[in-house]
């Protein structure tokens, strides 16, 4: 899921609702094998974990920001045209953690990524090859997997979750497809009760970005009392999930999306015998795409 709240680009020019007739909404833009695009991604991740045992409290906080500029090439697609396997040639990839900024991978590094056993694989690979050595499971791997990831073969498209079969005008709002969203989260080992889940998508307005007529969508979803991906031996005391997403999409469905943002927050408390844990996690991501073909 592509998960909001973003100020209009300085390149964007707002249009009035009167300038646009009811518009067909299409978030999913099928990829083409061999297509190239430049991507710029910025992600901020904050994890806060507390553990209480026999009156003693242990608290750990990790926060980092990662910025990536790279050329992406589509290597394989799913049956519905989603990105199944891709390569990245790094222009810049930097991470800032605890006030220390460093180069995560050098310019020119080529990576190949795909899903295997429902887990993302990232390889360092030479040009022309789809195999290579696995990228070390450090913060570089973690940050990359938060920034961009391939789709599972049977994963729902964004249209199936956030889209609408009807045409819409500025200000329209519609419910997300709860069943498909819950199914997608289940694949991530997050179990949600439909009665404790809600979400909507709205057509915020129309903009012109780099001379391309576009529309901006915004979506929100909320879930409570869900089961996070932890062992069944833990009793869930409280759980909350909130996601805010936005995107800029060309009115022409043959053109790729221009920009997406996501702000996802998850927190829960759980207990196993004398051990009580509390986890708070927030991920903010902004991605901009520019086709090269």
pLDDT, one tens digit per residue, over 155-173 is 999 999 999 999 999 999 9
Taking alpha carbons only, the member of 219, 80, 209, 248 closest to residue 154 is: 80
CB neighbour class for 23 (10 Å; exposed up to 12, middle 13-18, buried from 19): middle
d(C-alpha 4, C-alpha 259), whole Å: 11
What DSSP line would sit under 154-190, residue for residue?
A: TPPPHHHHH--SSEE-TT-EEE--HHHHHHHHHHTT-
- pLDDT tens for each residue of 209-254: 989 999 999 999 999 999 999 999 999 999 999 999 999 999 999 9
Instruction: Give every CB contact of residue 151 below 8 A, 6+ residues apart in sequence.
Output: 78, 82, 83, 84, 115
pLDDT at 128: 80
SS3 221: strand
For the whole prediction, is pTM greater than 0.85? yes
d(C-alpha 235, C-alpha 99), whole Å: 36
* 5 compared with 55, residue with greater pLDDT: 55
Taking alpha carbons only, the member of 153, 117, 116, 121 closest to residue 135 is: 121
Q: Which token pair is 50?
A: 């507390």
Per-residue pLDDT band at 80 (split at 50, 70, 90): very high
- CA distances, 82 to each of 88, 156, 258 (Å): 16, 9, 16
- pLDDT tens for each residue of 174-187: 999 999 999 999 99
Q: Are 40 and 261 in contact (CB under 8 A)?
A: no
- CA distances, 258 to each of 19, 207, 213 (Å): 21, 11, 11
pLDDT at 239: 97
d(C-alpha 165, C-alpha 134), whole Å: 41
| Whether the predicted pLDDT of 79 surpasses 50 | yes
d(C-alpha 149, C-alpha 34), whole Å: 17
Q: Which token pair is 287?
A: 């991605």
Taking alpha carbons only, the member of 65, 76, 86 closest to residue 33 is: 76
């Amino acid at each position: 899921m592509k998960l909001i709240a973003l100020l209009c680009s300085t390149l964007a020019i707002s249009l009035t609702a009167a300038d646009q007739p009811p518009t067909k909404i299409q978030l999913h833009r099928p990829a083409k094998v061999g297509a190239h695009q430049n991507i710029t991604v910025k992600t901020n991740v904050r994890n806060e974990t507390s553990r209480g045992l026999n009156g003693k409290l242990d608290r750990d906080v990790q926060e980092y920001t990662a910025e990536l500029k790279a050329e992406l090439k589509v290597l394989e697609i799913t049956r519905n045209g989603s990105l199944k396997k891709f390569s990245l040639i790094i222009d810049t990839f930097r991470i800032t953690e605890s006030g220390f900024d460093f180069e995560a991978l050098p310019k020119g590094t080529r990576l190949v990524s795909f899903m295997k056993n429902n887990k993302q694989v990232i390889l360092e690979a030479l040009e022309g090859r789809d195999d290579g050595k696995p990228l070390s499971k450090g913060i570089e791997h973690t940050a990359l997997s938060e920034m961009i990831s391939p789709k599972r073969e049977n994963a729902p498209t964004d249209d199936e979750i956030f889209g609408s079969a009807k045409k819409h005008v500025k200000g329209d709002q519609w419910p997300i497809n709860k069943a498909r969203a819950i199914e997608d989260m289940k694949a991530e080992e997050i179990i949600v009760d439909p009665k404790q889940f809600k979400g909507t998508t709205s057509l915020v307005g129309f903009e012109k970005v780099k001379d391309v007529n576009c529309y901006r969508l915004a979506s929100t979803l909320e879930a409570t009392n869900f089961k996070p991906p932890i062992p069944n031996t833990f009793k869930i005391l409280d759980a909350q999930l909130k996601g805010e997403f936005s995107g800029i999409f060309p009115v022409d469905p043959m053109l790729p999306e221009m920009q997406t943002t996501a702000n996802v927050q998850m927190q829960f408390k759980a207990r196993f015998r004398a051990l009580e844990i509390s986890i708070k996690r927030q991920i903010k991501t902004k991605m901009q795409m520019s086709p090269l073909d």
